[in-house]
Amino acid sequence: MTQLPQIEIRPGRSFAEIDACIGLQRAVWQYPELDVVPRRMFVVGQAIGGHLFCAWAGDQLAGYAFAIPGMREGHPYLHSHMVAVAEAFRNRGVGYRLKLAQREDAIARGIPLIEWTFDPTQGRNAHFNLNKLGAIVRRYSPDFYGPSASAIHRGLPTDRLHAEWWVNSSRVVGLLRDRSLPSPSIQRTVTVTNTGQSSFVPTSDKLRVPENPALESMLHLRRQLLDAFSQGLCAVQFRAEEPQPAYLLADASSMTGIDFLPAGVDAPVWRKDEEA
């Protein structure tokens, strides 16, 4: 393995640093211009209580984490909108260190919760979020961001799980201290698999997406996880082993250190094109 320069994590404050983040954003997600988070959003996000942390290897940007403030049922939280790591620095702990910097900032400001979204079909992200960081999941939003032309989305709906990272909960504190994940009583297992059934996503009355193995896997997860969450369960671990990786779910009421319940989960009001 090639020896890389030492990584330094520090807040990103200058326009040059923000522009470097935007360049990395384009490289990682391959967004069309419509989807790119612009410089002004980075500036405003920090001005209203968010943060931007950059990971530098000398003068090279290795990664960044950008969060904006949120409010739910009278409680403040941080929404970690983007965490990106340059290809040359992946699998080297850069993303983990960026998340720890986010946690330290939240704790210093008395903010108990950091949330973010991730693709339910991406097992590596699920393993990182649940097993390494100790986040839980109890919300699922179908097609959360709407259609995306990014190549990494493969033309699929932008379904998202909402990770909740309760930064001072016993679950997270214990995991970060001992590197061992608590083992609550598992009530249900949802496998990440292609169902092999003929399914479609009804994007309108006339348009249907044809059969697609990746789509089948997403729709299977959507049905199973929405049902599980509706019954008061939450995902607490991810079993990464092949051939049947799976989400492991427990009773959400048994989790300690969770101070308020999530608000509604489904598509925002602007989803219907006829109302635009």
**What is the CATH number for 16?**
3.40.630.30
- pLDDT attached to residue 137: 96
Position 40 in a domain: yes
Asked if 53 and 9 count as a contact pair (C-beta separation under 8 A), the reply is yes
pLDDT tier for residue 245 given thresholds of 50, 70 and 90: very high
Close Cβ partners of 36 (under 8 Å, ≥ 6 residues apart):
22, 25, 26
Higher-confidence position of 199 and 96? 96
Q: Residue 27 pLDDT > 90, yes or no?
A: yes
Position 223 in a domain: no
- pLDDT attached to residue 146: 84
How many C-beta neighbours within 10 Å does residue 204 have?
Answer: 9
- pLDDT attached to residue 116: 98
Of all residues in the chain, the percent with pLDDT exceeding 70 is 83
Asked if 218 and 192 count as a contact pair (C-beta separation under 8 A), the reply is no
- pTM of the predicted protein model: 0.86
The H or E element spanning position 190 is strand 186-191
Position 26 in a domain: yes
- CA-CA distance, 10 to 22, in Å (whole number)? 17
Position 56 in a domain: yes
Close Cβ partners of 178 (under 8 Å, ≥ 6 residues apart):
none
- pLDDT attached to residue 265: 45
Give residue 85's domain range.
1-111
pLDDT tier for residue 55 given thresholds of 50, 70 and 90: very high
- CA-CA distance, 262 to 268, in Å (whole number)? 15
pLDDT tier for residue 36 given thresholds of 50, 70 and 90: very high
The tokens 């032309």 sit on which residue?
Answer: 149
- CA-CA distance, 102 to 64, in Å (whole number)? 10
Higher-confidence position of 148 and 18? 18
The number of residues in the chain equals 276
Position 63 in a domain: yes
Structure tokens at 154: 């493969």
- CA-CA distance, 145 to 172, in Å (whole number)? 28
- pLDDT attached to residue 86: 97
What is the pLDDT averaged over residues 7-28?
A: 97
Structure tokens at 145: 């961001």
What is the pLDDT averaged over residues 9-31?
A: 95
- CA-CA distance, 61 to 86, in Å (whole number)? 8
Q: Residue 227 pLDDT > 50, yes or no?
A: yes
Position 225 in a domain: no
- pLDDT attached to residue 152: 65
Position 9 in a domain: yes
Could you give the number of structural domains in the chain?
1
Q: Residue 85 pLDDT > 90, yes or no?
A: yes
Position 167 in a domain: no
Q: Residue 80 pLDDT > 50, yes or no?
A: yes
